[in-house]
Amino acid sequence: MMPEFPAAAVDHLVPVADRLVEQGWSVSDSGLPAAVLSELERCCHSLWDSDSLRPAAIGRAGERQVRAEVRGDHIRWLDDCQPSAAHDAYRDAMAALRQTLNRSLLLGLDSYETHYALYPPGAGYRKHLDRFKDNPLRTVSVVLYLNSQWQPGDGGELRLHLPQGALDVEPRAGTLAVFMSDSIVHEVLPARRDRASLVGWFRRRPDNPLLR
C-alpha cells in the first residue's frame, strides 16, 4: 500500500506571494513534511541509478541540443514517472501555491509542468532566463531542492542575479525557490556532488486577455 501523507499547510504561502510581488523572487521553506521530501529525494536518485533520467537540452524547438557545458542536468518529467503518494503531496502543494499566487498576482496561472533534475558532479547551468520565445507561457519558476546531505562546499547553489547583486541559494532539502520566469536571470553553480531537485513552471493561459 502506498503511504499517505497529510495535506501540507498553506499559511506560509502568502508571504511567498507577497515577496514575489515586491521583489520578483522568494526563497523559503516548502513546508512539505520530511517524509515527503525524503521520498522525493529517494525517487530522484533511484531514477538516476536506473538510467531513467535524460540529458537536458537547450535551444529552440527543431534545434534542441544537449550542450553539457551550458546545461549539465539530467531530467525526467513527473508526468512520465510512476504515480506515488509523495508525488501527489508535491502536486497538491504546488496547486496550493498556484491558487495563492493567482489571488495576489492575478496572473491567471492555469497549469504546472515539472521535472526531476539531477546535476552530477561538475554539472551546472549557465546564466539564463526561463521564459524564452518557445516558452512564452512560463510565468513563475519553482525549484524544490532534495539534498538532505548538502554541506557548504558541495556547490550547486542557485545564483539569482538581482539589481543589488548576486544572491546564492543553498540547495538544501526542503528549500523552495520561486521567481518570475521572464525577469530573474539565474544560474546553477557547478555541483561537486549529485544535486537533486524538482523544477517546475506555472504557465498562464495562452489567451489571457489581461496579458495581451
Residue 188 binds which of ligand OGA, Mn ion, none (CB < 5-8 A, kind-dependent): ligand OGA
The nearer residue to ligand OGA, 109 or 199, going by C-beta atoms, is 199
Residue from the set 125, 150, 179, 202 that interacts with ligand OGA by CB under 6 A: 125
Q: Closest separation between CB of residue 177 and ligand OGA, Å? A: 6
Q: Is 55 exposed, middle or buried (0-12, 13-18, 19+ CB in 10 A)?
A: middle
Q: Closest separation between CB of residue 158 and ligand OGA, Å? A: 4
Residue 191 binds which of ligand OGA, Mn ion, none (CB < 5-8 A, kind-dependent): none
Which parts of the chain are beta strand (E)? Answer: 25-29, 54-55, 74-77, 109-119, 125-128, 138-145, 158-162, 165-169, 175-180, 185-188, 195-204
Cβ proximity of 12 and 28 under 8 Å: yes
Cell 521564459 locates to: 131
Q: CA 115, CA 143: separation in Å to the nearest integer?
A: 10
Q: Closest separation between CB of residue 183 and Mn ion, Å? A: 12
Instruction: Give, rounded to a whole angstrom, the gap between the first and last alpha carbons of the chain.
Output: 47
The nearer residue to Mn ion, 41 or 130, going by C-beta atoms, is 130
Q: Closest separation between CB of residue 188 and Mn ion, Å? A: 8
The nearer residue to Mn ion, 86 or 131, going by C-beta atoms, is 131
Residues of this chain that interact with Mn ion (CB under 5 A) are 130
Helix ranges (DSSP H) in 9-149: 13-23, 34-49, 85-105
Residue 197 binds which of Mn ion, ligand OGA, none (CB < 5-8 A, kind-dependent): ligand OGA
Considering only residues 147 to 206 of the shown chain, the ones binding ligand OGA according to CB under 6 A are 158, 186, 188, 197, 199
| Total residues belonging to the chain | 212
The nearer residue to ligand OGA, 125 or 202, going by C-beta atoms, is 125
Q: CA 124, CA 70: separation in Å to the nearest integer?
A: 7
The nearer residue to ligand OGA, 178 or 188, going by C-beta atoms, is 188
Binding footprint of ligand OGA on the chain (CB under 6 A): 117, 125, 130, 143, 158, 186, 188, 197, 199
